[in-house]
């Protein structure tokens, strides 16, 4: 029977229609069962079969990863295979099945927990992480024992829409080459990194549906409307046809917008701003250019640190950054230094062990703690800087001292390179992200230490309103138009301009057509956003005048509530369309 669910958070635009695939939960219900004598040998055979199946799965994944991403990324699977062959693990489980006469799932889950505990209770972060690897491996074997195949996205035979409780940004990045039409999750918010990654990859997505995994079955036909956040389960023919029609209309709008590609983002009265792109993976540069971006305003470099067992070295990073700089030249690329932590957890650094990761060792804090890591990245960025126009930007700044410390390390790294006779761009610009209220309210002080400011509205909203950007339960509070956000943005732009510095924005707000006039009116110089939004923002800017934009700003700053501000924006848009 057809069922329409309306209340999802539209995380990544696009309409797709396809079969649902539920990604099973990671947690199992392991039942204890006493074995009869005659069942014991059969239970041991079941165990060995499950081990073999898991090995075959791991070998297949290892070979695939090896072919696509190189041996480095495949090492984690080698390590898993070694653990599966560990005589302690295997012998102990078999001996216990015989001695305790209990079912294999129960015995194995106990053995693996004991095994993992040895590592997870160690002081060393690296070894603790290996404990989590063992737990993950245990889950794979248990899936096979329970006959609940753990779905490996790389083994899909047909195109599907993924339905899951939650997905990490690293799960999402794996979707790009697979047969995945879109995804829908119980958890998540509009600016969670999973949602941002989906937009970058052009995968339609809806998040924050709370209980969608309980409403959909694998094999159900699904309409995923990533524009409106609507899910339809088993639609009737007439609705399918309507959505197919709507899809055609959206494609037509996109075509029209594409015609603006080579035109400047200039208002009717001559104020030009830069529309640049946010990217998470290097391949996105082509898409950015295709959308008419005049540069990359944010490369989230931390994504090259995810989904791998080791850390990318200096040489590998230099190659990646050089490539991007060359492709985007003569425009510039802003390489944001590592922003691991928060919802981008690093297995290698153990940042997934904090109780409050968004308030923890994230961004510049992590870099100042693990200075070798930071220095390697700065060396790579500097070396790549001879291949185009590169700028550096520090994330998660909350005090001016962090910038001074980071700049001091940058100077030391430059001296090192000079001594080694390695060339770099001596005029390389350095910027700070303004994404905490403490940075926003001291933007005047920060502006003195850097060449440019970039407002990270995703986090600025999260930290100002005290609302987790990835939590669907409080998503209703996550509001760019909250007067506290608008006042801070205005203050940051003015403070930056007083210091003679360029002020941009690279949070999702910069790509929202309804908000473009406000940011324009406040004087924002550069809008950095997911490539798909560039033509839409350009259209708004090219049809506006500065007078009109400033007029809106003057009016909304006097309004006390989000509701009143939204009403005014709506009226302005209606007037513009008339
Ligand atoms: C932001 O916070 O607005 C931002 C651009 O950084 P990220 O989304 O990667 O946290
Ligand atoms: Mg941020």
* 263 close to 244: Cβ distance less than 8 angstroms: no
For residue 335, give Cα distances in angstroms to 300, 459, 504.
Answer: 7, 18, 14
- Higher-scoring residue by pLDDT: 32, 364: 364
- Ligand 1 atom with the smallest distance to the CA of 460 is 2
* 79 close to 136: Cβ distance less than 8 angstroms: no
Kindly state the average pLDDT of the residues 117-124.
74
* 204 close to 182: Cβ distance less than 8 angstroms: yes
Mean pLDDT taken over the chain: 89
Window from 167-171, 206-210, 228-232, 477-481 with minimum mean pLDDT: 167-171
Among all residues, which ones are annotated catalytic? 193, 506
Residue 138 CA neighbour count, 13 Å, CB half: 25
* 163 close to 216: Cβ distance less than 8 angstroms: yes
* Whole-structure pTM value: 0.75
Phi, psi (5° rounding) for residue 277?
A: -110, 150
**Best of 393, 455, 507, 528 for a ligand 1 pocket test (most atoms within 8 Å of beta carbon):** 507
Cβ neighbours around 282 below 10 Å, total: 17
3 state DSSP class of 227: coil
Kindly report the protein residue whose alpha carbon is nearest to atom 1 of ligand 1.
Answer: 456
Kindly report the protein residue whose alpha carbon is nearest to atom 4 of ligand 1.
Answer: 456
pLDDT, tens only, 208-244: 998 898 888 888 999 999 999 999 999 999 999 999 9
Query: How far away, in angstroms, is 393 Cα from ligand 2 center?
Result: 12
CA dist., res. 77 & res. 430, Å (int): 39
Closest CA to 47 of 80, 96, 81, 82: 96
Query: How far away, in angstroms, is 507 Cα from ligand 2 center?
Result: 7
Ligand whose nearest atom lies closest to the CA of 298: 1
Query: How far away, in angstroms, is 394 Cα from ligand 1 center?
Result: 11
- Ligand 1 atom with the smallest distance to the CA of 456 is 3
Question: What pLDDT is attached to residue 155?
Answer: 60
Give all strands (DSSP E) within 149-300, no chain letters: 160-164, 180-185, 205-207, 221-225, 230-233, 274-279, 296-300
Q: Which long-range contacts (CB under 8 A, 24 or more apart) does 463-471 make?
A: 463/435, 463/436, 463/437, 464/437, 464/440, 464/488, 468/189, 468/358, 469/189, 469/190, 469/191, 469/192, 469/358, 470/187, 470/188, 470/189, 470/191, 470/192, 470/193, 470/194, 470/343, 471/187, 471/189
* 183 close to 175: Cβ distance less than 8 angstroms: yes
pLDDT, tens only, 5-18: 778 999 999 999 99
CA dist., res. 468 & res. 477, Å (int): 9
3 state DSSP class of 26: coil
Structure tokens at 17: 């229609």
**Best of 278, 458, 478 for a ligand 1 pocket test (most atoms within 8 Å of beta carbon):** 458
**Best of 339, 528, 533 for a ligand 1 pocket test (most atoms within 8 Å of beta carbon):** 339
CA dist., res. 336 & res. 302, Å (int): 8
Ligand whose nearest atom lies closest to the CA of 454: 1
Per the document, the length of the chain is: 578
CB-based burial label for 31 (10 Å; 0-12, 13-18, 19+): exposed
CA dist., res. 107 & res. 34, Å (int): 11
Structure tokens at 48: 């060995």
Question: What pLDDT is attached to residue 254?
Answer: 87
Kindly report the protein residue whose alpha carbon is nearest to atom 6 of ligand 1.
Answer: 456
CA angle 290, 180, 170 (to 5 degrees): 80
* 524 close to 503: Cβ distance less than 8 angstroms: yes
Ligand 1, CB within 6 Å, residue ranges? 298, 300, 339, 435, 456-459, 506-507
pLDDT, tens only, 408-425: 999 999 999 999 999 999
Kindly state the average pLDDT of the residues 272-297.
94
Kindly report the protein residue whose alpha carbon is nearest to atom 9 of ligand 1.
Answer: 300
CA dist., res. 184 & res. 233, Å (int): 12
- Ligand 1 atom with the smallest distance to the CA of 459 is 2
Query: How far away, in angstroms, is 295 Cα from ligand 2 center?
Result: 19
Structure tokens at 276: 């640049």
3 state DSSP class of 180: strand
3 state DSSP class of 242: helix
Is pLDDT above 90 for 474? yes
pLDDT, tens only, 344-382: 766 556 566 688 889 999 999 999 999 999 999 999 999
Band the pLDDT of 154: cuts 50, 70, 90.
low
- What are the structural domains of the chain? 3-26+152-234 (3.50.30.10), 37-146 (1.10.274.10), 268-577 (3.20.20.60)
- Ligand 1 atom with the smallest distance to the CA of 454 is 5
Which are the contacts of 37, defined by CB distance < 8 A and separation ≥ 6? 101
Question: What pLDDT is attached to residue 320?
Answer: 95
Q: In what order do the strands lie in the sheet with 15-22?
A: 3-5, 230-233, 221-225, 15-22, 160-164, 180-185, 205-207, 9-12
- Higher-scoring residue by pLDDT: 169, 446: 446
Closest CA to 478 of 9, 6, 5: 9
Query: How far away, in angstroms, is 173 Cα from ligand 2 center?
Result: 18
Query: How far away, in angstroms, is 433 Cα from ligand 1 center?
Result: 9
CA dist., res. 78 & res. 512, Å (int): 45
């Amino acid at each position: 029977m057809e069922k329409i669910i309306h209340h999802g958070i539209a995380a990544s635009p696009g309409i797709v229609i396809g079969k649902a695939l539920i990604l099973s939960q990671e947690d199992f219900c392991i039942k204890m069962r006493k074995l009869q004598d005659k069942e014991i040998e059969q239970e041991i055979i079941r165990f060995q079969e499950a081990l073999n199946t898991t090995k075959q799965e791991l070998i297949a994944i290892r070979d695939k990863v090896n072919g696509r991403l190189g041996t480095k990324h495949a090492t984690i699977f080698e390590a898993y295979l070694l653990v599966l062959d560990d005589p302690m693990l295997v012998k102990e489980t078999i001996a216990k099945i015989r001695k305790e006469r209990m079912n294999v799932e129960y015995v194995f889950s106990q053995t693996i927990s004991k095994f993992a505990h040895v590592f997870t209770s160690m002081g060393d972060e690296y070894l603790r992480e290996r404990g989590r690897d063992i737990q993950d491996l245990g889950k794979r074997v248990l899936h096979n024992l329970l006959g609940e195949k753990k779905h490996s996205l790389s083994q899909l035979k047909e195109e599907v829409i993924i339905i899951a409780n939650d997905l990490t940004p690293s799960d999402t990045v794996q979707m790009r080459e697979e047969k995945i039409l879109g995804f829908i999750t119980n958890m998540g918010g509009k600016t969670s990194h999973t949602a941002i990654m989906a937009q970058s990859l052009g995968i339609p997505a809806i998040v924050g549906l709370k209980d969608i995994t309980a409403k959909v079955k694998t094999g159900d036909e699904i309409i995923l409307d990533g524009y409106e956040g609507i899910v339809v389960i088993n639609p009737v023919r007439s609705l399918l046809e309507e959505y197919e029609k709507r899809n055609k209309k959206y494609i037509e709008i996109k075509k029209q917008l594409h015609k603006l590609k080579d035109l400047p983002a200039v208002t009717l009265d001559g104020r030009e701003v830069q529309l640049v792109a946010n990217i998470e993976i290097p391949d996105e540069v082509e898409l950015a250019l295709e959308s008419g971006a005049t540069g990359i305003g944010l490369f989230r470099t931390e994504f090259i640190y995810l989904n791998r067992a080791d850390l990318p070295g200096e040489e590998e990073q230099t190659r990646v950054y050089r490539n991007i700089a060359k492709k985007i030249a003569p425009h510039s690329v802003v390489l944001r230094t590592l922003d691991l932590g928060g919802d981008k957890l690093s297995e290698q650094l153990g940042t997934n062990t904090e109780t409050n990761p968004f308030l923890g060792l994230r961004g510049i804090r992590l870099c100042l703690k693990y200075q070798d890591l930071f220095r390697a990245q700065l060396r790579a960025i500097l070396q790549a800087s001879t291949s185009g126009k590169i700028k550096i930007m520090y994330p998660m700044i909350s005090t001016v001292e962090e910038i001074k410390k980071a700049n001091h390390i940058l100077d030391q790294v430059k001296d090192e390179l000079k001594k080694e006779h390695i060339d770099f761009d001596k005029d390389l610009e350095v910027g700070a992200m303004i994404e905490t209220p403490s940075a926003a309210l001291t933007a005047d002080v920060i502006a003195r230490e850097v060449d440019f400011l970039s407002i990270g509205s995703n986090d600025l909203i999260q930290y100002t309103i005290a609302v987790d950007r990835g939590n669907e339960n409080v998503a209703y509070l996550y509001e760019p138009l909250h007067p506290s956000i608008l006042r801070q943005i205005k203050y940051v732009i003015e403070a930056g301009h007083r210091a003679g510095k360029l002020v941009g924005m690279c949070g999702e707000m910069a790509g929202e057509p309804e908000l473009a006039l406000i940011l324009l009116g406040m004087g924002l110089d550069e809008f950095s956003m997911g490539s798909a939004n560039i033509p839409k923002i350009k259209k708004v800017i090219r049809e506006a005048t500065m007078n009109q934009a400033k007029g809106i700003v003057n009016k909304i700053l006097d309004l006390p509530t989000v509701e009143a501000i939204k009403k005014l924006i709506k009226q302005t848009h209606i007037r513009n369309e008339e």
